[in-house]
């Protein structure tokens, strides 16, 4: 025996050590091609699960069943939810090996290529325009405060309201509360 074969032990182990695993670079270990036929046919199960989180009227027709891995399928349904045009409801289904029992893993709503998305968030400091800062600095200046305090028409001695028109001001209503908590006009 050679020193290599003594370390490995059996000829099967030698053969396994010589042949590298047949995987393409960057491809996951599980297969993602053709979906599991049993899970792909479980459209009604997927629709019923999505109806658990949204009214049936907001779920459109079935769009696709995509394989996400071995015995893992995502079903996509058109969204008819107001304000979510182009979005898709999804239900991820799975099952155990050799089992016919379908399990719902995840439910939700995803945007598609056709959906309208909100613009990317921009910090407030970057959203402020130069003219916004100019208006803010004008409002904070002491000249603006003094010009608003007294206008040329009024010297501050005249009163506004009904007394300025020669009318008596309306008497204010006063309420007195007794010990029982009832109010009486005074």
Question: Average pLDDT per run of 10 along the chain, which is 186 residues long?
Answer: 47 50 48 78 96 96 93 95 93 92 95 83 80 73 56 52 56 61 57
- Is the pTM for the entire model greater than 0.75? no
In this prediction, residue 29 carries a pLDDT of 45
In this prediction, residue 179 carries a pLDDT of 63
Return all residues near 89 (Cβ < 8 A) that are at least 6 apart.
50, 54, 58, 59, 76, 77, 78, 79, 107, 108, 109
Torsion sign over Cα 53, 58, 61, 65: negative
In this prediction, residue 111 carries a pLDDT of 92
In this prediction, residue 184 carries a pLDDT of 58
In this prediction, residue 170 carries a pLDDT of 58
In this prediction, residue 14 carries a pLDDT of 52
Cβ–Cβ < 8 Å for 86, 116? yes
In DSSP terms, 73 is beta-bridged to 67, 93
In this prediction, residue 28 carries a pLDDT of 44
In this prediction, residue 158 carries a pLDDT of 52
């Amino acid at each position: 025996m050679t020193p290599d074969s003594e370390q490995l032990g059996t000829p099967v182990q030698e053969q396994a050590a010589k042949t590298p695993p047949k995987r393409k670079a960057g491809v996951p270990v599980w297969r993602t091609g053709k979906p599991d036929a049993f899970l792909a046919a479980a459209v009604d199960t997927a629709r019923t699960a999505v109806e658990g989180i949204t009214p049936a009227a907001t779920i459109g027709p079935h769009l696709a069943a995509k394989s996400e891995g071995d015995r893992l399928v995502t079903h996509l349904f058109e969204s008819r939810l107001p304000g979510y045009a182009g979005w898709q409801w999804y239900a991820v289904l799975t099952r155990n090996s050799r089992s016919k029992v379908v399990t719902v893993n995840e439910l939700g709503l995803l945007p598609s290529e056709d959906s309208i998305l909100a613009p990317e968030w921009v910090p407030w400091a970057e959203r402020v325009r130069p003219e916004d800062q100019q208006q803010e600095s004008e409002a904070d200046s002491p000249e603006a405060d003094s010009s608003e305090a007294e206008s040329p028409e009024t010297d501050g001695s005249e009163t506004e309201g009904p007394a300025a028109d020669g009318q008596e001001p309306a008497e204010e209503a006063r309420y007195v509360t007794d010990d029982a908590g009832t109010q009486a006009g005074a």
